[in-house]
Amino acid sequence: MLLDASQSQLVLVDYQARLMPAIHESAQVAGNAVRLARFAEWVQVPIWGTEQNPSKLGPNLPDIRSACRRTLAKMHFSAAEEGLVEWLRAPEKAPQGNARSLPRHLKKPAEAEERNTLVIAGCEAHVCLLQTALDLLDDEFDVWVVTDACGSRTERNRDAAFDRLAAAGAELVTTEMVGFEWLRTSEHPHFKDLQALIR
């Protein structure tokens, strides 16, 4: 199964300026998050951000924060506990036409287009990223974790998070996998941009 840009949303968890210096390989982790945001912009994938206790840890890195449609300030480690799911679910569309034009039993509920595939990355992988992703799986989203755009203070904690997430049903991918799967073809108008960004 490949990622489909038309069904995807991107969630970037807690790339906060005061947290990042403590993250193992933080420059690569943050760089890959910025690349993911660029890829998402090229294929019109909505981008959402979260910030853990921003009054203490500060805002997300500027390149990440500016790419997000909205950024959720949270105190729970799981962003799903503080309203992220409502942002990710498409709002129901109001019925079209005259409400009296059909008998009630013939009216169909209006359904908005759902984007149930969540591409998620962030810090710390074993805390906020893990708890958010597990809750999103419980909420019946398809969750794809971008491993090289996730970080923790130690490799051991990061890798333990990946083990748990894979066992829970999340797909583990890399930044380049996401980019190439969203674009799908070397004829895509942004293919050369992608090549330049990953070199």
Read out DSSP for 57-96?
H-PBPHHHHHH-SEEEEESSSSGGGGTHHHHHSPPPPPPP
Domain-wise residue ranges, the chain: 5-89+113-198
Find the angle CA(65)-CA(16)-CA(57) to the nearest 5 degrees.
125
pLDDT in tens, 138-176: 999 999 999 999 999 999 999 999 999 999 999 999 999
The secondary element (H helix, E strand) that includes residue 157 is: helix 155-168
Cα 162 to its chain centre, rounded Å, is 16
Give SS3 for 146: strand
CA distance 24 to 49: 21
Bridge partners, residue 11, by sequence: 48, 120
CATH code given to domain 5-89+113-198: 3.40.50.850
Average pLDDT over every residue of 93-110: 51
Average pLDDT over every residue of 56-66: 97
pTM: predicted TM-score of the whole model, two decimal places: 0.89
